[in-house]
Structure 1
Amino acid sequence: MQKFDADSTSLDVLSWSKLHPCYLNRQIIILMSTIGVKDSVFEMKQKEFLAQLDAILVDPEKAREAMDRICHGELVKILREMILCGYKPDSEPFLSMMLRTIRASKLLDLRTRTRILIEKGGILMGCLDETGTLEYGQVFVQYSDSKSRQSSSETLLTFNDRQSNRNCHIIEGKVAIAKNPCLQPGDLRVQQAVDVVVLHHMVDCIVFPQKGPSDLDGDLYFVSWDEDLIPPCNFVPMDYRAEPTKLLDRDVTMEEPSMEMSEQCIALAKLSSKAADFPKTGIPANIPSRLRISEYPDFMEKPDRLTYESQSVIVGSTMR
């Protein structure tokens, strides 16, 4: 299929499959709580995350593990090497200062965005099952351990070398999957992860079957295999079909480009999808006055607006 004529025949690689740290956020927490995950689970996950952040200031092994899971970049490599060389987080000034800065940053994210690290999960690129093996409702998830990821990021390997040098883990069982923004309970899906031999070359990604509506153009997905975070059921997904394309008599240029189940939330979710499709359809998403709010929950921290004390688990477990 040829979509358009072009002089360029080069292929540019924008990204590749890799395991990103998995965090809960406000949208996912609200959806999980709405579907049936107990609020006590989120409180427990937050306590575990806070304990990890406290431990990195005194325990070298915990600090090294944290460098592999929650941080990236050249500076992190330096901190990791310092720990491996025997420097102690509670005695070496530079190392201690940087770890405290990392901890403060994660605490700020926790307070303002409710970002809670999940051990059994990852942010993975969605890929298509080219073999046609997976059935509807099935996915294939394989991830590499932190040491293998560190090795592959620091050395130039061919694809075959990369596969043979990785210690990989294949997930089997139920997994919770979401793609941000997720605004309606049907946006959070529970699928069955299976082991498929012909897909063992697919690493650090989530493989979806051919029988599905997504175009899988490099989108990243929240994937968790933590049993405590698996909702008991699936809700019917919302119909996100785009509005009919607006026809113009000229060329388009770059210059012209309550809870989750409430009626208001469903309407806003549809408007959000409509707004996302605006560059393609030319149809704006206008928010009617009945969907505009006059008060904001206090966890949004809007001092210049009228607020109310929210009873959501987001506030009860993280701010008070």
Structure 2
Amino acid sequence: MLFLLVIDSFLRYAFRGLLPSTIPRPRKAYLSRSLISHLNYGGVPEEYFLKLLMNALEDSQNILSNKRSALRVAINYGDMDDLLAARMILCGIPLDEPYLQCHLPVLAKEEKKGLKGGKLPISECFNLMGTADPTGTLKRDEVCVILDSGQISGKVLVYRHPGLHLGDIHVLTATYVKELENIVGNSKYGIFFSIKGPRSLADEMASGDFDGDMYWVSRNPELLRYFKPSEPWEGTHSAKGTCIPKPTDFSPEELERELFKQFLSIRFQPSHTAGIASDSWFSFMDRLLVLGDECAEEKECLKKKMCQLTDIYYDALDAPKTGIEVEIPNELKASKFPHFMEKTNGYTSTSILGLIYNKVDLLQTEGLPSTGVWKLACFDVEVPPDCLGKWDRLYRQYRIDMCNALKNNKSRSESNQKKQSSKCEPANEVIEKYKKELYDAPEFRLSGRNEEDIFNDALAIYHHAYEYAKQVNDAGKCRFAWKIAGQALCKLYLKKKNDEPIMCSKSILSEVLN
């Protein structure tokens, strides 16, 4: 009873009428390798996933010629360039602009990686935060799902990442609960689970709980039509845990030290047990998906191993909290892995995951015929000589600084025997240095400089970058102009076209495009 009162109080004061402003609309939900595996095992045909894939591939192939496709990818992967490509497209810069022509394929390549890994776009699926039903009215197999239009009704699939058990996807009934309206008010985007029964539904899904876990919820009619659930997970591990002190056992200073110690341990001495268990599980699952009914004995053997690996995997994930010592027996470790996992000891998979990987891998992003490096007509204008002289000197120094930064980053990566990060910190520092030279601030919007002076400097940067790119016949060298002065150039482009920008939310734009 106390639990219900706490939940009720929390919802009334923390969420009532405030959820829309505190929790934005959830990002578009995609499928994943684990979800595709579970759904395919549960009866969803391969043809359905391949249809989703082909639709996504068709769209990605138009990235260099279709503004909507280009903008969608630029928004989805905007964290790679601080939404630079999206800004350029939205202010009307043509897709055949030299820098966009060499940059958009980079973003398309990232999308291709996601598709190879099973990140397929799908309709009527959502990622929602889950909590317990404070009214106590939901039955064991019922949930209350609140979307933008309010509570929904009907069958839904519910899953929690990173669930590996074959029964981790549940078929539940979304039910309208009138009593919840007085608690959540106009709040949106959440799922409430029943509190009835000896064990929570959250625990049945990858040992979840109600402390902020996110759940994949689908009312996609095709998935509901085909999917048949398996028996839910019941942990059977025998791993022993150590006595872990509670936070209340520490003084504030001791607790701070202990938390920092755990952070360092997890960050720099991570356990590889969960990864090994997951990889082996995927290897066995791949085999299970292609076996026919005539291989019943082998299938049962695989499922038994997968159940054991699931227990080990969940224990390994919880080990920092529980103190459980987790080991994987050699007989549960896979000796070979499907080729889509990109490991050295691999074999060619014929499962749906292997088919998806192959289809994406064979497809090459085709660019439009190169038109060389050219300038936008509205930027090919006279620039004050003092600005040209200043940025001639700075651009020469920038090329030296960037070359040194990339060399230093490569040397550091090799000495640490780690794969070079796609985000080079020394290179980012160089970019920030020259942005500050332009704006006298980290960003255009924070600058106190006269706007016309910024525009003149931006045009000088554009001139030097594009002239050098022409000289070396490399459109990639145009990057300097847009990395340093991109925001100013976009605003100047609109000004020269006598156009005006409009306010737009990134999340709304992403919702519309996806």
For the superposition of Structure 1 and Structure 2, which TM-score range results when normalised by the shorter chain?
Answer: 0.7 to 0.9
The answer to whether the Cα contact below 8 Å between 1:175 and 1:191 also exists between their aligned partners in 2 is yes
1:58-73 matched pairs, under 5 angstroms: 58-65=65-72, 70-71=76-77, 73=79
Distance in 1, matches of 2:304 and 2:244, equals 37
Change (3 A) 1:248 1:78: closer
1:119 match: 123
Change (3 A) 1:80 1:195: farther
Higher relative contact order (CA 8 A, sep 6+): 1
Choose from 217, 220, 228 the match for 1:226: 220
1:102 match: 107
Q: Cα offset for 1:40?
A: 0.8
Q: TM-score, normalised by structure 2?
A: 0.48
Change (3 A) 1:248 1:314: closer
Choose from 236, 245, 270 the match for 2:231: 236
1:127 partner SS: strand
Distance in 1, matches of 2:33 and 2:219, equals 19
Change (3 A) 1:173 1:200: farther
1:8-23 matched pairs, under 5 angstroms: 16=23, 18-23=25-30
Change (3 A) 1:292 1:34: same
How much identity, in percent, do the aligned residues show? 28
Higher percent of residues as helix: 2
Distance in 2, matches of 1:249 and 1:21, equals 38
Q: Cα offset for 1:106?
A: 0.9
Choose from 93, 99, 102 the match for 1:87: 93
Distance in 1, matches of 2:318 and 2:164, equals 16
1:316 match: 355
1:37 match: 44
One-letter amino acid of the counterpart of residue 221, structure 1: Y
1:175 partner SS: strand
Whichever of the two has the greater Rg, that structure is 2
2:306 partner SS: helix
Choose from 306, 322, 325 the match for 1:281: 322
Q: TM-score, normalised by structure 1?
A: 0.74
Q: Cα offset for 1:30?
A: 0.9
1:319 partner SS: helix
Q: Which stretch has the larger CA shift, 276-285 or 265-274?
A: 276-285
Choose from 188, 193, 215 the match for 1:203: 188
The RMSD of aligned alpha carbons is 3.5
Distance in 2, matches of 1:82 and 1:172, equals 42
Distance in 1, matches of 2:221 and 2:82, equals 31
1:227-306 matched pairs, under 5 angstroms: 227-230=221-224, 231-240=226-235, 246-248=241-243, 254=261, 258-259=284-285, 262-303=303-344, 305=345
Choose from 118, 121, 141 the match for 1:137: 141
Distance in 1, matches of 2:24 and 2:195, equals 19
The answer to whether the Cα contact below 8 Å between 2:130 and 2:190 also exists between their aligned partners in 1 is yes
1:185 partner SS: coil
Distance in 2, matches of 1:140 and 1:64, equals 35
Change (3 A) 1:291 1:92: same
**For this pair of structures, how many residues does the alignment match?**
282
For residues 90-148 of structure 1, the C-alpha deviation after alignment (integer angstroms, 9 at most, x for no partner) is: 3334444443322210101222x22112232122222333333433322333344xxxx
